[in-house]
Amino acid sequence: MSSQYQAVQWNRQKRIYDLLLISGVALYLVVFAVVTEHYFPYVTEEILIMRAFGTLAFLLLHLILCIGPLCRLNPKFLCLLYNRRHMGVTCFFLGLIHAVMVVATYHAGGDINPIASIFVTSRLTGSLAGVPFQPFGFFALCILFLMAATSHDFWLSNLTPPIWKTLHMLVYAAYFLLVLHVTFGVLQGEAGLLYSVTMAAGLLTVIALHKAAAWRERRNDRELEGLRGDGFCDACSVDDIPENRARVVCLSGERVAIFKYDGKISAVSNVCQHQNGPLGEGKIVFGCITCPWHGYQYRPETGESPPPFKERVATYDVRVQNGRVFVFPKPKMDGMSAPAILTRQ
């Protein structure tokens, strides 16, 4: 929730989040180094470092990709999503250190430019083991960089949310590139079966969680029918909506969140203006719809964020009759949709 931009708007939860993130990163790196040094005392430090950072960056990317579907399957995981941005930035820096170590040890000190060397040194030889794997890593790093660099809300509003969202969907491209990077790289050399099994398990986890979440979402996404003569749609029963919570329905292809609070019913677009979080999974807190992702707030009657914030979501006209909620399927961008008052039965 920003009216002005700061580098990071710190709060207690973010501090705890980052502290745990950094501790986890440090723990992994130290343990990887200690175990490697113990079993392979002659290892070259640079390679130890590149492997520790490379594997951790890739592992962290798995976690980043799994948080989204986990939250859709169980909202309690939202605590992991809250500051995921810092996880993404951390992942980029880990990948960067990996890449810098690679360029400094494997590519520098020869006769050609070390960066150019990533692309030209290995030529296609026609065999599977001969596929140059490093350009995949390079392009993945570029994507991670773009995402880290534009992760701030400043860029979100300056690039406009659709462009920003598209840019950040590239994370899947980055992941795909890294799967190739590892498959044609280290899996060809450290040919141990366990390495391949580990990576396959990671890939399967990511895919399975996304499938499960998508399936869950599709089940909720059945388009409403039952249009009445006045154009209103029968959405749900009042009793279907828990107090201070919402029920999400699909109207003319848009998801609409119908909230019940203080004896009233209001409907707003389900899409949070911050990063498209699902408002319908939010809660009314201090009289405001509160987004489950990062806690942006909107007044249910107007769709506006309380001042000084300026975000706004579309609202929908609602009516209640015989214990059922009816919603007019056209969004209103300009504020007021009078809430329907529930009469005590």
Partner 1 sequence: MNGPFYIGWQDRADPEIKRFIIRCVLLLFSIGLGFAILLARMQRTIGVSVFEWGTEKKFSGIMKAMPYPHLIVPRPGASGATIGFSTYYLVAPFKHGLDPGSMASLDGRTVDLRGTLIYRGNETMIEAIPDSIKASLRQMEPPAGLENVSLGRQTFDGEILDSKCFFGVMNPGQSVPHRDCAILCISGGIPPVLLVRQKHGRPLYLLLASADNKPVNQQVLDMVAEPVEIRGEVERQGELLILRADPSTYRRLNSRSP
206, 199 contact by CB (below 8 A): no
Binding to partner 1 (CB under 8 A): which residues in 159-188? 184-186, 188
Residue choice 55, 266, 302, 305 for contact with partner 1 (CB under 8 A): 55
CB of 149 to partner 1, least distance (A): 23
* Nearer Cβ to ligand FES (95/295): 295
* Nearer Cβ to ligand HEM (57/314): 57
CB-count exposure of residue 39 (10 Å: 0-12, 13-18, 19+): exposed
For residue 278 the two structure tokens come to: 């699902």
Tally of residues, the chain: 345
Report the C-alpha gap between 91 and 11 in whole angstroms.
Answer: 22
Chain-centre distance for alpha carbon 276? 10
Report the C-alpha gap between 252 and 260 in whole angstroms.
Answer: 22
246's CB contacts (< 8 A; 6+ apart) are: 257, 258, 259, 260, 279, 280, 281, 282, 289
Distances (CA, A) of 292 to 73, 165, 215, 284: 13, 18, 20, 10
Binding to ligand HEM (CB under 6 A): which residues in 93-132? 95, 98-99, 102, 106, 118
Binding site partner of 277, from ligand HEM, partner 1, ligand FES, none, Cβ cut-off 5-8 A by kind: ligand FES
Binding to ligand HEM (CB under 6 A): which residues in 66-95? 95
Residue choice 175, 232, 261, 293 for contact with ligand FES (CB under 6 A): 293
159, 147 contact by CB (below 8 A): no
CB of 133 to ligand HEM, least distance (A): 7
Instruction: Give SS3 for 8.
Output: coil
For residue 247 the two structure tokens come to: 């029920």
CB of 84 to ligand HEM, least distance (A): 16
Binding site partner of 13, from ligand HEM, ligand FES, partner 1, none, Cβ cut-off 5-8 A by kind: partner 1
Chain-centre distance for alpha carbon 182? 23
CB of 309 to ligand FES, least distance (A): 11
* Nearer Cβ to ligand FES (32/155): 155
CB of 102 to ligand HEM, least distance (A): 4
Binding to ligand HEM (CB under 6 A): which residues in 164-223? 178, 181-182, 185-186
Strand ranges in 244-316 using DSSP code E only, listed in sequence order: 246-251, 254-261, 264-269, 283-285, 288-290, 297-298, 315-316
Residue choice 172, 192, 204, 310 for contact with partner 1 (CB under 8 A): 192
Burial track 132-169 (b if 16+ CB lie within 10 A, e otherwise): bbbbbbbbbbebbebbbebbbbebbbeeeeeebeebbe
CB of 270 to partner 1, least distance (A): 12
Residue choice 51, 98, 294, 299 for contact with ligand FES (CB under 6 A): 294
Report the C-alpha gap between 166 and 97 in whole angstroms.
Answer: 26
Q: Which residue is nearest to ligand FES (CB)?
A: 277
Binding site partner of 66, from ligand HEM, partner 1, ligand FES, none, Cβ cut-off 5-8 A by kind: none
Q: Where on the chain is the footprint of ligand FES (CB under 6 A)?
A: 272, 274-275, 277, 291, 293-296
Q: Where on the chain is the footprint of ligand HEM (CB under 6 A)?
A: 47, 50-51, 54-55, 57-58, 61, 95, 98-99, 102, 106, 118, 134, 137-138, 140-141, 144, 178, 181-182, 185-186
